[in-house]
Amino acid sequence: MQIFIMRHGEASMEAETDAQRPLTSQGQLEAELMGKWMEKMSLEFDVIWVSPYIRAQQTFSFVSKSSVAKAAPRTLSFITPSGSPGEVHDFIDGECASGYIQRLLIVSHMPLVSYLTSELTSHQQAPLFQTASVAEINYNLDTMIGELVRMVSPVDLC
Cα four-point dihedral sign 80, 30, 1, 68:
positive
DSSP letter for each residue of 85-143 = HHHHHHHHHHHTTTS--SEEEEEE-TTHHHHHHHHHHT-SSPPP--TT-EEEEEEETTT
Task: Provide the pLDDT for residue 66.
Answer: 78
Task: Provide the pLDDT for residue 67.
Answer: 67
What is the number of other CB atoms lying within 10 angstroms of the CB of residue 81? 16
pLDDT averaged per 10 residues in sequence order, the chain, 158 residues: 98 97 98 95 93 98 83 94 97 90 96 97 87 97 94 94
Task: Provide the pLDDT for residue 71.
Answer: 78
SS3 call for 14:
coil
